[in-house]
Structure 1
């Protein structure tokens, strides 16, 4: 298996090739796309031709051997599968489509920016529940016509001020603009076609295996080469945002969305789920809570932390890193974010529509979250019983000491778990996550030297913990007064471990059957049913590295929508799910050997739409 560093080096080489000769690179990319279409068309002609020939032969003379029906059926299925890869079903993006007369201020601003950019007319504006915006190209049939939609997340309107929002809208119109939009749209459709074709062929029999093996070799290579163009389109869209709204608002919008997305995933949604320990039903007004939390966060977040300044895009990231995007805009990344103006939502949407959207999205979240919340509540009750057993135990093993510490931290906020963690890592000094949790808690208590010592040890024992631990460190620094010695020590850790971006790929033995009862599975199915783009889902249990109180699950989704809709919806979907343990949500969009092993280990999907 090729390393992530190897793939990154190859992406950097492709970037240099594009820089040296953009036109030639686009021609080569078009030829790569043409190779796939040539194989697809050849297979379609051969399959359909043979199928028709066999039908003619079977109907032109008395049927002597009924077994001729089998190759006719197999060839027909193969032809339909290949044809389906070229066909696009037209459906508007998910969310709330603005009706005539709704949100006139937002419509006026969108139309002003559209004219200034010179983009094509929109077929609609859609408000969804994500902290994101997207230019949605919806092709009809074989993609000869496209419908254009602008998707804007309600949380985005509540996070950004008017100038920042204008820069985001201009950025998205940059994706609709001119020849860049047409060629880029075609490349996007080709990427989707090959993903869909692989999924269809993998479910077929031996007749389609030749095409399956070709496209399994071809599709990742085409995606890798097209990734360069996808990232370049982001730079061009950023430049459009700076031209319309100014470089400073464009840069601050990028930084706020990046930081707020991270904060929502690591802070807001976990804290929202915490009451499930004692409360059997989920909160009813989630999007009102979200609006208030975003308002408070945007007032407190005044700088770009060190960990973001050092982040580099992975080889599979469709967007450049924040540092690269700031450099392209000519803005210093080491900036203090200007105090934002009033959030755009009230003025752009109006009070009445804003209230209706908050109520609508809260009801949708409540309906999808209720089954998972109830399962989480039952799991918390089990954890309480386990906590009592460990508290009453006369003796504990090293793993039980660490489990006890984690349960205390999670379920007894008034009790200091530090002494229990200390005893756990004393008995099990190689336990990386135990050192990590202890280090963070000591840092919060002001014991900086000892805390940093445990954090460094955790990252040396398990480098894959570095991203989350460095993120926790930056969060702690924001809450502290200036401390030059501590800041210098943290920078040293960033230099030593900042490039650690992923865990070693799991082996097949790390994936086990999920062993869940029907009730929690039904709860997950109900959540997935609320997301129409989820086509199928697989679930396995993984041997969790480090400290694990409950089992860790991997949920693999086949996503039937665009990459943009996937990126916008997955954080919300993850927040609605609850399993009796920790979990990660992955999609089949990224094709890696570890995901292939995971899917093979999972067997048949437990959910299909």
Structure 2
């Protein structure tokens, strides 16, 4: 199914979901049961067919017939094994640092209130993670036969950046998924997706030679897009329902502030805090500060950087897409009838209220230690690489460009692009492009980058030259040229240019 057709199907199903949420949920549940019934029927049929082959081979008493039956039986066994393996697979349980009640009495008290108010299942494990996120996960210990254990995952950055009331809204939202069996449904959907994909990959290569494989592949090609669309819309419906649980437990104001803060602060942590943290490796062999111990202060100190009208306007203008089952901020706030307002600074964060005295600092230190164990080797390697590269830039820059070899000019331009800026790399590239003996695809790619950064339309010609002369550079050159033309001349021009250099059998 083409993307546009899939998008149209999703939009149509969203209308069905909005008009009758419970009926839509029952329909998706029936589709899931039907998929499992079909799979069990297929499995039973394959087993019966295998038994018939064995019986036929035994009764035929002919060597040729036994060989044919054996080959067919091996194929059937491999397919049966794939289906059984994926149906019975045990997904890994979520990971994190487990919290006990004594470490977070207020948080566990809130969970007890949620149990009593919403009459849902209990959470067996509360895990602290290093992400700016919170989630409910149901882990099935016995595959499709269940044995569910409920996990609440709470990111320490989320606790450090939220107010206690907003954290209540977060916990209510996540527990709302559990009360609605959303988490169990997500686990079932994930498992079914894995099964369909595994079957398709296993059978696609033999579809041209085997009638059974071809039939199953065609069925999956027709069924899977519809299954994906229905389950996607249901997952988005689940988010709206969980938001309403948050409103019922924490109120409209706290829920709306939580949604806005989560979007703005989450973007800042991902796109500013962590990149700035890793940029220190360019000049220091060890971090000047550890990330989680400094995050609380960083969030407060940079409030005016991430909580801005511009950031809110950008988030408000962003529409829902098909890459994320979470609705966009505008649709979530509209659903709870709240306007977008910048959240106030956090005076007392949720970590200080919900965790016992000293536990917050302890968790920060533990996550810092874990982070450094994972990143120390890469950090030191980056530091040394940058220092050596800057020394090399100095060595090459000490000679006139005209006296440098082609290889030295390529190296100098590449290093300047990596560690300085596009403008500083331009002289070396201009000198190189004058040299004979070309083409020089890497130089063309770099020069194209420099020119499009300056807004010069000639840059796409150099990108084209790089793509046509070196297939390994095709993807980067095509993407850079397409993005430049898309912003400058529009989608039609960008698409024509893409089609002129990307082979037709290449996916766009």
TM-score (norm 2): 0.74
Matches within 5 A, 1:324-339: 324-333=331-340, 335-339=341-345
Who is 2:102 aligned against? Answer: 101
Post-superposition shift, 1:382?
5.8
Post-superposition Cα deviations, 1:65-92, rounded to whole Å, max 9, x if no partner, equal: 6744443333222112112333352653
Residue in structure 2 matching 1:157, options 152, 156, 159: 159
Post-superposition shift, 1:62?
7.6
Matches within 5 A, 1:179-578: 180-181=180-181, 185-186=184-185, 188-199=187-198, 201-203=200-202, 206=206, 209-210=213-214, 211-280=216-285, 285-298=290-303, 301-304=306-309, 305=311, 306-333=313-340, 335-377=341-383, 379-381=385-387, 383-384=389-390, 387-388=393-394, 389=396, 392-394=399-401, 411=419, 420=424, 512=472, 542-543=476-477, 545-546=479-480
In 1: Cα distance, 2:249 partner to 2:100 partner: 26
Who is 2:119 aligned against? Answer: 118
In 1: Cα distance, 2:379 partner to 2:213 partner: 43
Task: Determine if contact 1:171/1:238 at 8 Å carries over to the other structure.
Answer: yes
Worse-superposed segment, 218-227 or 184-193? 184-193
Show structure 1 runs of 5+ residues with no match.
439-453, 463-506, 514-539, 548-593, 599-609
Task: Determine if contact 1:134/1:172 at 8 Å carries over to the other structure.
Answer: yes
Who is 1:13 aligned against? Answer: 12
Task: Determine if contact 2:94/2:137 at 8 Å carries over to the other structure.
Answer: yes
Who is 1:520 aligned against? Answer: none
Who is 2:74 aligned against? Answer: 73
Q: Provide closer, same or farther for how the CA distance between residues 544 and 126 of structure 1 changes in structure 2, counting only shifts above 3 A.
A: farther
Task: Determine if contact 2:257/2:343 at 8 Å carries over to the other structure.
Answer: yes
In 1: Cα distance, 2:469 partner to 2:175 partner: 47
In 2: Cα distance, 1:337 partner to 1:424 partner: 49
Post-superposition shift, 1:303?
3.8
Post-superposition shift, 1:393?
4.7
Partner SS, residue 87 of structure 2: coil
Post-superposition shift, 1:202?
1.5
Partner SS, residue 313 of structure 1: coil
In 2: Cα distance, 1:186 partner to 1:99 partner: 27
Show structure 2 runs of 5+ residues with no match.
434-443, 461-466, 482-502
Task: Determine if contact 1:284/1:366 at 8 Å carries over to the other structure.
Answer: no
In 2: Cα distance, 1:249 partner to 1:511 partner: 53
Q: Provide closer, same or farther for how the CA distance between residues 27 and 385 of structure 1 changes in structure 2, counting only shifts above 3 A.
A: same
In 1: Cα distance, 2:398 partner to 2:6 partner: 48
Who is 2:48 aligned against? Answer: 49
Who is 1:127 aligned against? Answer: 128
Worse-superposed segment, 139-148 or 152-161? 139-148
Post-superposition shift, 1:119?
2.1
Q: Provide closer, same or farther for how the CA distance between residues 105 and 18 of structure 1 changes in structure 2, counting only shifts above 3 A.
A: closer
In 1: Cα distance, 2:320 partner to 2:281 partner: 35
Q: Provide closer, same or farther for how the CA distance between residues 309 and 437 of structure 1 changes in structure 2, counting only shifts above 3 A.
A: farther
Task: Determine if contact 1:85/1:197 at 8 Å carries over to the other structure.
Answer: no
Task: Choose between structure 1 and 2: higher strand proportion.
Answer: 1
Post-superposition Cα deviations, 1:304-333, rounded to whole Å, max 9, x if no partner, equal: 522111000112321000011111121112
Q: Provide closer, same or farther for how the CA distance between residues 270 and 161 of structure 1 changes in structure 2, counting only shifts above 3 A.
A: same
Post-superposition shift, 1:165?
0.5
In 1: Cα distance, 2:391 partner to 2:213 partner: 52
Task: Determine if contact 1:128/1:152 at 8 Å carries over to the other structure.
Answer: yes
In 2: Cα distance, 1:166 partner to 1:406 partner: 50
Task: Choose between structure 1 and 2: higher helix proportion.
Answer: 2
Post-superposition shift, 1:369?
1.9
Task: Determine if contact 1:161/1:344 at 8 Å carries over to the other structure.
Answer: yes
Post-superposition shift, 1:391?
7.1
Partner SS, residue 90 of structure 2: coil
Who is 2:463 aligned against? Answer: none
In 1: Cα distance, 2:223 partner to 2:56 partner: 35
Q: Provide closer, same or farther for how the CA distance between residues 542 and 419 of structure 1 changes in structure 2, counting only shifts above 3 A.
A: closer
Post-superposition shift, 1:149?
1.6
Who is 1:146 aligned against? Answer: 148
Q: Provide closer, same or farther for how the CA distance between residues 433 and 173 of structure 1 changes in structure 2, counting only shifts above 3 A.
A: farther
In 1: Cα distance, 2:301 partner to 2:470 partner: 41
Instruction: Please say which structure displays the higher CA radius of gyration.
Output: 2
Who is 2:178 aligned against? Answer: 176
In 2: Cα distance, 1:55 partner to 1:97 partner: 52
Post-superposition Cα deviations, 1:509-535, rounded to whole Å, max 9, x if no partner, equal: 99849xxxxxxxxxxxxxxxxxxxxxx
Post-superposition Cα deviations, 1:334-382, rounded to whole Å, max 9, x if no partner, equal: x232232311113322243323322322232222223433443454346
Task: Determine if contact 2:257/2:342 at 8 Å carries over to the other structure.
Answer: no
Q: Provide closer, same or farther for how the CA distance between residues 196 and 275 of structure 1 changes in structure 2, counting only shifts above 3 A.
A: farther
Task: Determine if contact 2:268/2:306 at 8 Å carries over to the other structure.
Answer: no
Who is 1:167 aligned against? Answer: 169
TM-score (norm 1): 0.63
Q: Provide closer, same or farther for how the CA distance between residues 257 and 351 of structure 1 changes in structure 2, counting only shifts above 3 A.
A: same
Post-superposition Cα deviations, 1:547-578, rounded to whole Å, max 9, x if no partner, equal: 9xxxxxxxxxxxxxxxxxxxxxxxxxxxxxxx
